[in-house]
Chain A
Amino acid sequence: MKAGDGAVPTGMLAAAAATFRRDVVLAFRRPGQMFQPVVFFLIVTTLFPLSLSPQLSQLRDISPGILWVGALLSSLLALESLFRADMEDGTLEQWVISGQPLAVQVLARILAHWTVSGLPLVAAAPLVGASLAVPATAFGTTMLVLGLGTLCLSGLGAAGAALTLGSRRASVLLSLLVLPLAMPILIFGARSVDLAILGEPTRGPVLLLSALTILTLSLTPWAAASAVRISLE
């Protein structure tokens, strides 16, 4: 049985799409795990209006910070799982020898990871915003920058998660690696929300955040792919 004869080799993009689809399907088979970050996000951000003053003006002033710190921490929660299961069950080895460029597979994994962990945060943002007295006019910008920021963080996190594959309890190490790199996301993201609340133009920080996301997504898959190869040794 020579299965290879006359078979059509899978293209790079088709393989990436297959990986994306598989990851999303897998996430939906374990919905509890999938919604952990967004539940954490909701809990953390609603603690603030309860523990601080219920005065709306005060809440509104600090809401960008709360939103972003909450989003950052809940994204971190999901990062460690990016490659760990695939390393333990041998899927990463299959990726390496699949004949497909590893970095493209890693990029598909990053996008799938963002879809199941970052997008729910974006969807929850208006709810959280309302509880922090963010005016409805700022919801659009808030969701946009949260989407960009979490995508960028998934990219950074992929490199971090791949680098820490070798160590058993990697979550603290991963936070130490990723959080400093995430500072620009925090700064520009919170600034955009701040400006949107004040009703001022947000074009500057939003464009910077977009540039940052594009840069991250074009570089980190290669770094993560190299780290994955090293982890197989």
Chain B
Amino acid sequence: MTAPTQTGLQVQGVHLWRGERHVLRGVHLDAPLGTFWHVRGPNGAGKTSLLRVVAGFLWPEDGKVVWNGQETRNLGDEFGAQMACLGHEPALKADLTARENIRYLVGLRRAVKDYELDAAFARLGIAEHADRPTRMLSAGQKRRAAMVRVLLSGASLWLLDEPFTNLDVAGVELFAGLLAEHAAGGGVVLATTHQPILAPGVRTLELA
């Protein structure tokens, strides 16, 4: 294996068709390590599709996605391990507690310790709800629990699709702070939202 170059994420001329619709029309993005990107655009502009292309769930008709100098298509499972995704669904099982859910999902990637879980739940302000079944949590609390997973994932690329949905004002501020912090620590963040992101150093990618 060649030593990976730390160039972050590049999206190069991606075209994506969904049925008859040409959703992504040659999207370019250069996101070196340490950058925080706000992907904007009206409904149906392809924000979610772009994130799903980057994550490798959708294969574009043309163009490529490059992570640290290598095309993600060739990286396979190795790329997945360096990426954390927060989609529309929080991937939490209603019958498990938030802690069990997160321990399992993070545990697929790396060994996770109790104190790390405690600290992360406290950070997201849901420490007292960590041991309740997820079905008893509100939508906003589920979002926060899902964010605990992203935080602990150990991934350097964060893909977040509408991360602020269902959050209260304090929650939005908290999430924005966490994302900015991750970027400042040498990670890459791609987040779609409709509201502006109030955090230092956010760059904007406008999809038409």
Contacts and interface: CB of A to CB of B under 8 A. Distances in A.
A46 interface: no
A8 B111 contact: yes
Summarize B's interface: helix, strand, loop or mixed: loop
B57 A94 contact: no
Contacts of A96: 56-57, 80
Contacts of A19: 104, 108
Interface string B43-85: 0000000000001111100000000000000000110111111
B83 A97 contact: yes
A42 B108 CA distance: 38
A1 interface: yes
Nearest to A89: B89
Interface residues of A, number: 35
A203 B78 CA distance: 45
Number of chain B interface residues as a range: 35 or more
A224 to B, nearest CB: 16
Interface string B96-129: 1000100011011111100010000001000000
Given A4-B154, A98-B108, A90 B88 contact: yes
Interface in B137-176: 151-156
Interface in B5-19: none
B185 A1 contact: yes
A90 B94 CA distance: 13
B89 A233 contact: no
A57 B65 CA distance: 69
Given A88-B89, A91-B91, A99-B80, A233 B57 contact: yes
A93 B104 contact: no
A3 B153 contact: yes
Given A94-B105, A232-B57, A10 B110 contact: yes
B121 to A, nearest CB: 13
B32 interface: no
A16 to B, nearest CB: 9
Interface of B: 55-59, 77-78, 80-85, 87-93, 95-96, 100, 104-105, 107-112, 116, 123, 151-156, 181-182, 185-187
